[in-house]
Amino acid sequence: MLQISKLTKQFGSQQVLKGISARFPEKQTTVIVGPSGSGKTTLLRSLDLLVRPDSGELTFDDLKLDFSQPISSKQRNKLRNKTSMVFQNWNLFPNLTILQNITSAPIHVHKVAVDQAEHQAHKLLQEVGLDEYATAYPHELSGGQQQRISICRALAVQPQYILLDEPTSALDPERENQILRMLERLSNEGNSLIMVTHNMQFAKNVADKILFLEDGELQFDGDKEAFFSAKTDRIQQFLQGVT
């Protein structure tokens, strides 16, 4: 299981994460919510070392990182082999076909044979109903389709944890539903997901566990039912403000 302890991060004079400790259970969907600027993306990106925390610890099975010490590239790669990030703006490579976008990490980073990587990519594309776009380029696809491709790309490396930053931002409700169904299926199939979202209805549908961040501090860590029925003024106020 992936766990963090007392994680801190400062940008300039701003303390963005103020000692966050949390567990991200396997085969569950953990959703990180909170007001804008509360540190959600910074926390998510810390789990993939796209952001380097200043102090605290991260443990993942036998891997233990102490951020007050230097992190070796071997440790970083070990962590990144277990996690895969789906970016908010999808970040597909514009000059590569859809198939190449999905197979590039398996082939070039994980050294999977080309045939095998392509076979796996076609399988993923069929699952999301987009195999006919294998030879197309990203700009030929709609936003919702590109988002599904970026999830396929993250899945192609068979990560233990899939990290998603606002997976439904800028999608219309129909596309949002498609992504929701895809994430629900991933979750039902026993994948471990960690997701940042502003969309409380989406969180309600897909989450097992909720982390509520405010001003760099964890204000709630527990199961979804407890969060949505929480009686604290602050959680009620937040839920009323965003729904």
In the bound state with ligand ADP, the residue whose beta carbon lies nearer, of 14 and 72, is: 14
| Of 107, 3, 16, nearest in space to 57 by CA | 3
Among 8, 28, 30, 41, binds ligand ADP (CB under 6 A): 41
Q: x/- site string to ligand ADP, residues 79 to 118, per CB under 6 A?
A: ----------------------------------------
Please name the residues in contact with 239: beta carbons below 8 A apart, sequence gap of 6 or more: 200, 228
49 token code pair: 């070392």
Among 42, 120, 187, 197, binds ligand ADP (CB under 6 A): 42
Q: x/- site string to ligand ADP, residues 1 to 20, per CB under 6 A?
A: ----------x--x-x----
**Gap between the terminal Cα atoms of the chain:** 32
Cα separation of 231 and 43, whole Å?
Answer: 26
b or e along 190-226 (b: 16 or more beta carbons within 10 Å of the residue's beta carbon)?
ebbbbbbbebbebbbbbbebbbbbbebebbbbeebee
The reply on whether position 197 binds ligand ADP by CB under 6 A is: no
Which stretch in 40-48, 52-60, 77-85, 142-150 sits in contact with ligand ADP by CB under 6 A? 40-48
Which stretch in 38-46, 89-97, 109-117, 128-136 sits in contact with ligand ADP by CB under 6 A? 38-46
In the complex, the residues that contact ligand ADP under the rule CB under 6 A are 11, 14, 16, 34, 36-42
